[in-house]
Amino acid sequence: MSETASVHTQESSVRDFFELLKPRVMSLVVFSGFAGMWVAPGFSNMHPFLICVAVLALAVGAGASGAINMWYERDIDSVMKRTMDRPLPRGRIHPDEALSFAVTLSFLSVLTMGLALNWLAAGLLAFANIFYVFVYTIWLKRRTPQNIVIGGAAGAFPPMIGWAAIAGDIMILPVILFAIIFFWTPPHFWALSLFANEDYKRAKIPMMPVAAGEKSTKIQMLAYSLLLLPLTLSPVFLGYAGLVYGVAALALGLFFIYSAVRVLLDKTHKSAKLMFGYSIFYLFALFLALMIDKV
């Protein structure tokens, strides 16, 4: 009986540490980073093992910064319905263990990327992690409604990191991919913050709906959606992508704008929930279209 309990505790502990890495967020980071690798010159000549190492380093680095975010925000996570069941608020992981686990993984991910691929990619990975932890999590999130606008840059680095891991340099296309995620982030997160507004009020986080009101937030979401469309089409105009990507980007972008208009006109939060879900699909589909177009 005691042996069974011990095994169950060990399995639970592994799940808790995995949850600490924010696996859902990690999946989007890994995919966008892999897309950056896919479209980079020299991808087809890169050894598959090194590609796997680059993806693993990117995933571990992203997970580590997410874990530090959870460690620092465990006080506000405990009062938000959306996050109160996370391992740290529930006491399933000791804060000191969580921090040491996260810092170790972050260091190892950067070191692995540098030794296996190149130090430009490793430097970008380190900078993204530092930016997410110190600029967004510690400095911006609790102080300004522009937290996600500026801090969202951290989540926009993966395509650049992926490109640099393969090509060893940075050109116009990975910068455009960075900009696409950067402009996509505010409407994506503000859609979430609209229907999670009470949570953010309770935690005293100045997300845009809390600080500026829902109407102002919805107008800004539409503005960012409108800016996003020509930005996503720029790879076609600059000769980096062809018809397949162009048609997909246009269709996805127009529906993204339509979703923002629906949010603006909706008196409830139903459209915001739908737009949040669509925004995740949108980014996956956009980068997948770019990868297919490259083939």
For the segment 231-258, what is each residue's pLDDT rounded down to a tens digit?
A: 999 999 999 999 999 999 999 999 999 9
Q: What is the pLDDT of residues 63-113, one digit of tens each?
A: 999 999 999 999 999 999 888 999 999 889 999 999 999 999 999 999 999
Q: Which two tokens stand for residue 89?
A: 């608020």
**Are residues 97 and 144 part of one domain?**
yes
Q: How many domains does the chain have?
A: 2
CB 232 within 8 A of CB 173: no
**Are residues 126 and 21 part of one domain?**
yes
**Are residues 114 and 96 part of one domain?**
yes
Ranges of H-type helices in the chain: 2-20, 23-39, 48-72, 74-77, 95-116, 119-130, 147-151, 153-156, 158-167, 172-195, 197-203, 208-212, 214-237, 243-265, 270-294
Residue 176 domain flag:
yes
**Are residues 195 and 135 part of one domain?**
no
Q: Choose one of 169, 186, 214: the last residue of a domain.
A: 169
**Are residues 221 and 131 part of one domain?**
no
Q: Quick one: which of 217, 247, 72 has its CA closest to 148?
A: 217
Could you give the maximum distance between any two Cα atoms of the chain, in Å? 67
CB 206 within 8 A of CB 142: yes
DSSP 140: I
Q: Is the pLDDT of residue 11 over 60?
A: no
Q: Is the pLDDT of residue 9 over 60?
A: no
In whole angstroms, how far apart are CA 166 and each of 106, 110, 122? 20, 15, 12
**Are residues 153 and 29 part of one domain?**
yes
Alpha carbon distance 140, 29 (integer Å): 21
**Are residues 81 and 17 part of one domain?**
yes
Q: Choose one of 169, 203, 228: the last residue of a domain.
A: 169
Residue 4 domain flag:
no
Alpha carbon distance 161, 178 (integer Å): 10
**Are residues 129 and 211 part of one domain?**
no
**Are residues 17 and 146 part of one domain?**
yes
Alpha carbon distance 110, 54 (integer Å): 10
Q: Which two tokens stand for residue 152?
A: 């969202």
3-state secondary structure of 73: coil
pTM value surpassing 0.95: no
Alpha carbon distance 110, 80 (integer Å): 32
Q: Is the pLDDT of residue 5 over 80?
A: no
**Are residues 139 and 205 part of one domain?**
no
Mean pLDDT computed over every residue of the chain = 92
Q: What is the pLDDT of residues 138-179, one digit of tens each?
A: 999 999 998 888 888 999 999 999 999 999 999 999 999 999
Alpha carbon distance 106, 62 (integer Å): 8
Residue 6 domain flag:
no
Q: What is the pLDDT of residues 205-236, one digit of tens each?
A: 999 999 899 999 999 999 999 999 999 999 99
Q: Which two tokens stand for residue 130?
A: 């530092």
CB 243 within 8 A of CB 256: no
Residue numbers of the domain that contains 102: 11-169
Residue 5 domain flag:
no
Q: Is the pLDDT of residue 6 over 50?
A: no
Q: Choose one of 169, 185, 216: the last residue of a domain.
A: 169
Q: How confident is residue 2, by pLDDT bands cut at 50, 70 and 90?
A: very low
Task: Please compute the mean of the pLDDT values over residues 181-197 and round it to a whole number.
Answer: 94
